[in-house]
Every structure is written in C-alpha cells, then in structure tokens.
Amino acid sequence: MNSVTTGSRTDPHAQARHARQLPVLLHSMAVFREIFAVVFAHRGVSTVVEVGVESGHVSGVYAELGATAVYGVEPSPDARVRDTFAANPALRLVERPSPEALADLPLADVYVLDGDHNYAVVREELRWIMTHAPDAVILMHDVLWPAARRDMYYEPSPLRGGDKHPASHDGPSAWHDGLSPAGFIGAGAYTVAERAGGERNGVLTAVEDALVLNPGWTFSVVPAVFGLGILVPGGAPYAEDLAEALRPYTGSELLATMENNRIALYTRVLQQQYDAAANEADRAALVDTITSQQREINRLKAELADPEAEVDRRALPWDRFRHLAGQAGRSGLSRLRRYLR
C-alpha cells in the first residue's frame, strides 16, 4: 500500500483528501488501469480499437501501456476528445458509429467495447470481432447492473423494430425492480428498456448468446464499477496464464459485495435528491398559495374597514366567504365570521 491509501503519521488526512477528489459515482474505465496492465503484459498489444472513448483519457492509458496505435470509435466527439486525440500521435479518432466502423479499421490485439449498451449493437460488435479477429482479447464495460439485463439506447437511436424494446426516460434503481424518475436517468441523453430480462435484452445477454456460437472463448468478470467483462480466445497460448493472473480480481467476492453496496448507496442518494427537489417544488407552490391567500385576506380587511362598503359587504353571498375560508383553513373561517359581526 502507499501513503494515498493509508496516510501517514505526518499526513493523516491523505486518504480522505484523495477520496474527496474522486467523483461521487465512479464510472470511467480508467479505474481498470491495473487490469489493463495485466492483459497487456500477457497478450502483447500494439493495436487497440476502442468503441466509446469517454473524454479520451482512457485512450491515452492504452498508449502508455504500450499500444502504438489506438483507434477511438466515437461518432459524435466533443472538442475535448478532439483535442486529446490531436495531442497524442498514437491516438486516431474514428468519427463513425460502431459496429459499422470496425470493418474499415486494422485488426486489433485488444478491442474495448464501451459504446451503446444494448443487445443489438453489442451482439453485432461481438459477432464481427469473433469472426474477423479470433485472436483478440475483448474488454467490455457495463456487463453488470444496470445494463446487464436491460438495454440502454443513446438517443436518437438508429435501432428499429425488433432491435429496440419499448423504452422509457425513467431509470432503474437498486431499491425496486421497476423504473423510476428517481433512478439512473439519462436526462435526455439515453433511454432504457421498460422491462429487464428476457431475450435480446442487455449487454450480458449479448455476451452469453455470442458464447453459444463461439464456445472456444472464455469469459470472466471483474465485479466492480458496473462490471468489466473479459473475453479471451480459449486456444490462445497466453489464455491460461492470463486467466490465472486475473483470478484475484475476477474471483473476488469482496469486490462483488462492495459493488452491490455501491450501487445501493448511490441509487439511495438519487432517490433523496429527487425527493428533495420534489419537496422544494411543493414548498414553492405552498408559498405561492399562502401569498395569494394573504393578498385576498388583506383585501377583505380593507373592505371591512371601509364603512361605505358595509352594505355591499353584508350582501356578499356566504358561498364566497365559505370558499375563501376553505382556502384559508378553519382559522380563516373563524376570522371571517368575527369580521362580519
């Protein structure tokens, strides 16, 4: 362990300081760097094809680990991604969607799939890679909850017909099986399948179906940060040694338990944020109601204080006062009655 993990006698707050610098929700594949290092050490990697490049930071990690060419497939890169790729001669940006782009790229030693997390896209990506690059290692993000058994669709989605399930803007939560506006929502960026499970639904389901057609491959999962799946051709000379080197990660019940706790805690935070926003909206509406009622009460007081309005006031229908009193509550009704005496 290092001082960032443990702190020291002279710097006892090092761990806490490091913790508060991390995002509230770990989601980037950058956290798997030590796993990538194990794969690169056993496979020998010169070319990487990465589908979905985040900010471009992880693309640079592959180059740091020894890749001489990293092709980042990203159909709609932002300026930060463009700048990151332009600054590193090992990185090549491919502004096309996957899986269509794969056929026009050099065959890779490692494929990294972190793009559109749905059955139709992932299944086609795996079909192409397993057919045309049978010696490659395939690294896949989001093979566990929430995308394992529920499709996610970046919008607008090109998928049609049977490739896309009925979808919702609500999101999943660890606290119940259905969707909720307080769950993992895409805020317009993506939708998710209304129902989880069943056939042709989810990233892990796509992997399982690919393995049925390609039984020579092996599959393991690092159960952390939404799950890192690792597909290795079983007959590769490095396959057994790589599997053994990865076993402390892929066989860790501790990691699996911590991941389950992480998603439970985070989705609880999402629920609390949603509830707080709803309560604030209710509070604002109540303030508006009280303000409106106070203006009406002040107007009535002004009328009651005007002697010339006495006749008109006594002629007012009781229904109106009952309505106003109902808005103001029982105490308001009592006050109105006192005014009329």
Angle between helices 57-64 and 33-43 (to 10 degrees): 40
74: alpha, beta or left, given left = phi > 0 and alpha = psi -120 to 50?
beta
Residue 116: name the closest of 85, 146, 151, 148 by CA. Answer: 151
> What is the pLDDT, as a whole number, of residue 6?
85
In which band, very low, low, confident or very high, does the pLDDT at 316 lie, cut at 50, 70 and 90?
A: low
Contact 206, 123 (CB under 8 A): yes
pLDDT exceeds 80 at position 143: yes
Three-state DSSP at 122 gives: helix
Domain boundaries, the chain: 22-276
> What is the pLDDT, as a whole number, of residue 136?
98
Distance, in Å, from the CA atom of 131 to the CA atom of 129, rounded to the nearest integer, reads 5
Distance, in Å, from the CA atom of 233 to the CA atom of 38, rounded to the nearest integer, reads 16
Three-state DSSP at 53 gives: coil
The DSSP bridge partners found for residue 112 are 50, 139
* Residue, of 184 and 286, whose pLDDT is higher: 184
Residue 77: name the closest of 134, 46, 115 by CA. Answer: 115
Residue 172: name the closest of 133, 135, 142 by CA. Answer: 142
> Which 8-state DSSP code applies to residue 78?
-
User: Region 32-50: what's the mean pLDDT?
Assistant: 98
In which band, very low, low, confident or very high, does the pLDDT at 336 lie, cut at 50, 70 and 90?
A: very low
Please report which residue ranges of the chain form alpha helices under DSSP H.
Answer: 3-6, 14-21, 33-43, 57-64, 79-86, 119-132, 203-213, 239-250, 253-304, 310-315, 318-328, 330-340
> What is the pLDDT, as a whole number, of residue 7?
87
Q: Which element (helix H / strand E) includes 231? A: strand 228-233
- Pick the range with the lowest mean pLDDT from 97-111, 115-129, 270-284: 270-284
CA torsion sign for 39, 45, 49, 54 is positive
Share above pLDDT 90 across residues of the chain, in percent, rounded to a whole number: 74
* Residue, of 166 and 310, whose pLDDT is higher: 166
Distance, in Å, from the CA atom of 112 to the CA atom of 73, rounded to the nearest integer, reads 10
Q: What is the pLDDT of residues 186-207, one digit of tens each?
A: 999 999 999 999 999 999 999 9
Global model pTM greater than 0.95: no
Q: What is the pLDDT of residues 63-92, one digit of tens each?
A: 999 999 999 999 999 999 999 999 999 999
Q: Which residues contact 120 (CB under 8 A, 6 or more apart)?
A: 151, 159, 163, 164, 200
pLDDT exceeds 70 at position 329: no
User: Region 279-283: what's the mean pLDDT?
Assistant: 81
Distance, in Å, from the CA atom of 50 to the CA atom of 72, rounded to the nearest integer, reads 5
Edge-to-edge order in the sheet of strand 167-168: 152-154, 190-193, 167-168
Angle at 261 (CA atoms; ends 264, 187), nearest 5 degrees: 35
Edge-to-edge order in the sheet of strand 137-141: 91-94, 69-73, 47-51, 110-113, 137-141, 228-233, 217-222
In which band, very low, low, confident or very high, does the pLDDT at 232 lie, cut at 50, 70 and 90?
A: very high
Phi, psi of 65 (to 5 degrees): -85, -5
Characterize the bridge pairing of strands 176-180 and 171-173: antiparallel
Three-state DSSP at 181 gives: coil
CA dihedral 60, 66, 70, 74 (to 10 degrees): -40
**Residue 197 in tokens:** 């499970």
> What is the pLDDT, as a whole number, of residue 287?
85
User: Region 277-283: what's the mean pLDDT?
Assistant: 82
pLDDT exceeds 60 at position 162: yes
**Residue 179 in tokens:** 């969707």
Which CATH superfamily is 22-276 part of? Vaccinia Virus protein VP39 (3.40.50.150)
